[in-house]
Amino acid sequence: MYLLAIDWIFIIEKLVLIAAIVTLSMVVAMYATYGERKVAAFIQDRIGPNRAGPFGLLQPLADGGKLFFKEEIIPLASSKFLFILGPLLAMVTALLTSAVIPWGASMNIGNRTVPLQVADVNIGILYVFGVVSLGVYGIMLGGWASNNKFSLLAAIRGASQMVSYELAMGLSLIAVLMLTGSLQMSVIVGEQYNAVWNIAYQPIGFIIFFICALAETNRTPFDLPEAENELNFGYHQEYSSMKLGFYLFAEYINMFISGVIMATLYFGGYDIPFVNEASLAQHIGENWVALLTFLTLMVKALFFVFVFMWIRWTIPRFRFDQLMHLGWKRLIPLALLNMVITAVVILWLKK
């Protein structure tokens, strides 16, 4: 079906995929709020939300409905355009990252191979970095446009924290890229597919990446932009209604996406452990294998989301100077060392 020199089936296929991924991220983020409260309750020996629906499963819907119907307040002295742009940017950048992630083995629909990946671009992981580095604008603009000193302080904290931890994150990633020899996400997964996962070669790199992911998503122990005992409520203090909801929601989407990226980079992506997918495909068909691989990726990602929550309800937050100290004086040298050692070992083995 070609019209105006455009392959429309291709466009429809991608649109369906994008819609599915965005919906998936939203639903996972929604239930992550429920999961967060249940995990918190479990750790603190409580029951957690259990009134709305069976086991409180309708709680996220009730929360969303509440947020939508609350009164929307825009402070008089703030810049209205920037005030609305803040949560919008936070949400958009949170969702954009999912475009280059391979979500599963390719499907076969009507003699057409459909890869479960929106765009397999040459720069793959760098695209993720580009989008993550833009995530800081949501916090900065929101905090500044609120015209409130606490919000501004929180925004500046958030920005400096995210810029500092991006460096260590990139350095720890270079080691993985040296192992793979490509930036393409599909190649990074393909190298680990039915082989040894990258975590076996890069345990230190993974730990650095994980710590930086915590800092990038503003989760405890790095949630200084919203440290309520110092800054009231942080950068979203002046926000109400769904605009506040979008900020909180974007954090959960970021958490989920960073879980997926960690699984993709270090834990084999959609590779089912101890199973040879090619021989499985001959038994149950290609599409079922694609579904199974997708579910595997989800299990890995949700495990990381759980670890994020576990950390939040276990560890108190850092002081800001401790955070900067850890980022610049501990993680960056460690990541550099890890990079150099990896490079030396690779060169030595290849000789």
User: Which of these segments, 131-139, 198-206, 221-229, 246-254, binds another protein (CB under 8 A)?
Assistant: 131-139
What is d(CA 277, CA 283) in angstroms, rounded to the nearest whole number?
10
Distance in Å, CB of 120 to another protein, minimum: 12
Backbone angles phi, psi at 114, to 5 degrees: -110, 105
Q: Which of 42, 88, 137, 207 binds another protein (CB under 8 A)?
A: 137
Q: Which is nearer to another protein, 26 or 152 (CB)?
A: 152
Q: Which helix (H) or strand (E) holds 51?
A: none
User: Which of these segments, 62-70, 138-146, 263-271, 332-340, binds another protein (CB under 8 A)?
Assistant: 138-146
> Phi-psi region for residue 276, left (φ > 0), alpha (ψ -120 to 50) or beta?
beta
160 binding another protein? (CB under 8 A): yes
User: Which of these segments, 54-62, 157-165, 210-218, 292-300, binds another protein (CB under 8 A)?
Assistant: 157-165
Do the Cβ atoms of 296 and 72 come closer than 8 Å?
no
Distance in Å, CB of 170 to another protein, minimum: 9
Q: How far is CA 201 from the centre of its chain?
A: 23
Strand 112-114 with 107-109, pairing: antiparallel
- The beta strands (E) that lie in 65-217 are given as 107-109, 112-114
Q: Which is nearer to another protein, 9 or 196 (CB)?
A: 9
Distance in Å, CB of 121 to another protein, minimum: 6
User: Which of these segments, 107-115, 139-147, 198-206, 277-285, binds another protein (CB under 8 A)?
Assistant: 139-147
What is d(CA 209, CA 339) in angstroms, rounded to the nearest whole number?
13
Q: Which of 18, 40, 152, 346 binds another protein (CB under 8 A)?
A: 152
- Give the number of residues written for the chain: 351
Distance in Å, CB of 166 to another protein, minimum: 8
DSSP-assigned letters across all residues of 279-305: HHHHHH-HHHHHHHHHHHHHHHHHHHH
Q: Which is nearer to another protein, 3 or 273 (CB)?
A: 3
320 binding another protein? (CB under 8 A): no
User: Which of these segments, 125-133, 218-226, 252-260, 329-337, binds another protein (CB under 8 A)?
Assistant: 125-133
344 binding another protein? (CB under 8 A): no
336 binding another protein? (CB under 8 A): no
129 binding another protein? (CB under 8 A): yes
136 binding another protein? (CB under 8 A): yes
18 binding another protein? (CB under 8 A): no
**Beta pairing partners, 24:** none
What is d(CA 89, CA 27) in angstroms, rounded to the nearest whole number?
19
Backbone angles phi, psi at 53, to 5 degrees: 75, 175
324 binding another protein? (CB under 8 A): no
Question: The tokens of 296 are what?
Answer: 């595997």
Q: Which of residues 181-200 bind another protein (CB under 8 A)?
A: 183
127 binding another protein? (CB under 8 A): yes
- Residues in contact with 6: Cβ distance below 8 Å, sequence separation at least 6, in sequence order: none
Do the Cβ atoms of 174 and 252 come closer than 8 Å?
no
**Beta pairing partners, 187:** none
User: What is the b/e burial string over 118-153, where b = at least 16 CB atoms within 10 angstroms of the residue's CB?
Assistant: beebeebbebbbebbeebbbbbbbbbbbbbbebbbb
Q: Which of 62, 82, 275, 345 binds another protein (CB under 8 A)?
A: 82
User: Which of these segments, 9-17, 68-76, 129-137, 190-198, binds another protein (CB under 8 A)?
Assistant: 129-137
Q: Which of residues 19-78 bind another protein (CB under 8 A)?
A: none
Q: Give the residues lining the site for another protein (CB under 8 A).
A: 4-6, 79, 82, 121-123, 126-127, 129-130, 133-134, 136-137, 140-141, 144, 152, 155-156, 159-160, 163, 166, 183
